[in-house]
Amino acid sequence: MDKGSIWKKKKTLLVAAVSVAVLAVVFSFAAASGRLFSDLEEDASYTVDRIGNAVSFTIFGGAPRFYSLTIEKNGRDYVLTGKSDFELTYRDEFVVKDVDTDDLWGKGISVDVGGLGSGNDFRKLLKGVELVDKVIRGQMAPAAAATNRDFNVSVKYGKVPIATIPLAVQVTPQDWLRYARSADNPLQQIAYLEKAVAAKPEDTEMRKTLASLYVRAGEKKEAIAQYIEITRVRPTDRSSLAELAKLYRETGNCEGATAAWQKLAKIDPAEAALCYANMGLCYGESNQWTKAANSYKESLRLAPGDAVIRYRLGEAYEKAGQTSQAIASYASALKLMPRDNNVLIALADANLSAGNYDEAIKGFSKVVQVQPRNSIAFAKLGSAYAGKGLLQEEIASYRKSLALNPKEVIVNFNLAVALEKAKQEQEAVKAYRRVLEIKPGDSDATERLAAISLKNRQFWDAIRLYDGILKTSSHKAAVYSNLGFAYGELKQYGRAADCYEKAIAAGAKDPQLFFSLAVAYDKGKNKKAIAAYERYAALQPNAEVMGILADHYEKNRQGDSAIAAYNKMLKLKTPKAPVYAGLGRAYNMKGDSDRAIESFRLALRLDGDDDDAYAGLGEAYEKKGLYEEALKAYKSAYELGHDLKVGEKMVAMRKKIMQRTIKN
């Protein structure tokens, strides 16, 4: 046998001897510790495998194998092999008690719980809340990256990792609520509570807390969404319905608010009257006054002694234009609150609006007795006196109001109007000027001053004032019309016509304006005059304009138009004789002698002293060849008017008669 074979045999024997010795140590240690055969049902192959691994680690070295980890959590032991996560919550406290590896003495084994401890956490007390807090911070700031599965227990032999046990860190709604309560910043509180609600959406109390935080932060729509969810889960939650209605009202959603109040009224009949009163307020704020009144009526049906609701009902009626109902409601409220000046003023106001001036005077007189410095009450008392036509009392009330509040524009203006009615024009002018001192450019006061200037024929003053009004006036047509009149009176017909045209362009409909325009054209020698007269005649025919048109048509040999004008005049209330005479002239112009003769005869039947009608009749007879009748008519005309031309016509007719006699 060679030396190599002998050495190999010796080596094998040595290994076997050492193995036996090691096995003896293993068995003795295992028996002492109770670890190797602790489970009586552990199968033989596992036991053999463990023995082999231990012998291999002991003889050949290297990293030991990991078998299990024992952790005590909240007083209970858990054996972990790495096949499943180990769950932790913020309430848990735990200790890594033991590590089962091939290193039977465990001298090189260390345990590191990621995110906790100081590198070796073996047999140290640890708290789950620290891991939970890290997960929460990671979720609130994604850049931090920590999630509930980023933590584990790492088992090492020396510096070599031999096992990793995953930790499942559970973040509960209570964790988010805990953070929300400890946060100083309301926005952070909201953010934490949003996470809590997302984790436990059926928790209505957390939703209420979140909703109240939204309200404090001014995020009312988000608060509404939370209350909607709460009432979906708990439809009879009274406080949530009340808050929902309040938020809907504050955000202008009257229909949503009233729906919530209606539900609340059904759930809690004791609060129904208040719910309907709130509905009335909400409808009033959205100008739905009829609905407001109906809600207040329902509230009063449930609580008839509520004087404030009767007052609110009166307001709703008044806004809805139901003044008589408003008066009745205010009156009933006043019986319940006889010393309440707000109700007294409202009742007096309603009577003033309804034209019940006597009642308004009584009401405001009582108000000023109780509140002698109430300038508004004195002003309204003046308006009530105005309705009764009591000028002196009206003026006195306005003066008392202005003594308390001299810069009230409307009262100064009303005083000026009253003084103007009382023929105290100079005092009125002073009052209008005070209005302009308080409110420069006030168009109403300026217009009244301009009208006074116009009436007093101070045309240039009127023009200056009207020019100023045009910059701000909303009724330019009237201003331009008055300007046209002023310029016309100053014989500046071109400017007058221009102003009248602008008044018409601004929407003026008064037919007289077209007549004024026509007159301005006429006096200004403008060819547009007749067209303007014709336009006026189409709107408002009268004897004056038809006479102007007929005269124009005659001068311009427009017989048909003249005849039409005279025929229209016959339908108007005007002396007929001149009209028939005009018709006769028009028919003569047309060569219709028969109708001319008929028209002149009608004229002379009504006025036998019209020399022009006789002359026209003579002309018509002459054209017909009836010289004797013509001579007779000319003779009557000459006797009445002594017109030389008519005398010449008489001589001519005698010659024609003589010539005809000679021929015959």
| 47 located within any domain | yes
Find the domain containing 23 and state its range. 1-61
| 20 located within any domain | yes
Beta-bridge partner residues of 76 = 73
Report H helices in 200-321.
Answer: 204-216, 220-233, 238-250, 254-267, 272-285, 289-302, 307-319
Lowest mean pLDDT among 353-357, 401-405, 574-578: 574-578
Decide which of 516 and 139 is more confident: 516
> Which amino acid type is present at position 169?
V
Token pair in block for residue 550: 């007929």
Lowest mean pLDDT among 81-95, 166-180, 464-478: 166-180
CA gap 613, 606 in Å, rounded: 11
Distances (CA, A) of 382 to 3, 375, 434, 439, 556: 143, 11, 19, 22, 61
CA gap 167, 154 in Å, rounded: 10
411, 380 contact by CB (below 8 A): no
| 648 located within any domain | no
| 8 located within any domain | yes
**Residue 334 clears pLDDT 50, i.e. is over it:** yes
> Which amino acid type is present at position 329?
S
Burial 103-125, CB ≥16 within 10 A → b, else e: bbeeeebbbbbbbbbeeebbeee
Arithmetic mean of pLDDT, 26-45: 46
| 275 located within any domain | no
CA gap 451, 482 in Å, rounded: 8
| 37 located within any domain | yes
CA gap 152, 429 in Å, rounded: 95
pLDDT, one tens digit per residue, over 221-275 is: 999 999 999 999 999 999 999 999 999 999 999 999 999 999 999 999 999 999 9
- Direct distance between the N- and C-terminal alpha carbons of the chain, in angstroms, rounded to an integer: 201
> In three state form, how does the secondary structure of 107-152 look?
CCEEEEECCCCCCCCECCCEEHHHHHHHHHHHHHCHHHCCCCCCEE
Q: What share of the chain in percent tops pLDDT 70?
A: 89
| 498 located within any domain | no
DSSP per-residue codes, 470-495: TTT-S-HHHHHHHHHHHHHHTT-HHH
- Determine how β-strand 76-80 pairs with β-strand 151-157: unpaired
The reported pTM is: 0.61
Which single residue is written with the structure tokens 């015959």? 664
pLDDT, one tens digit per residue, over 574-625 is: 789 999 999 999 999 999 999 999 999 999 999 999 999 999 999 999 999 9
| 48 located within any domain | yes
As for how many domains the chain has, the answer is 1
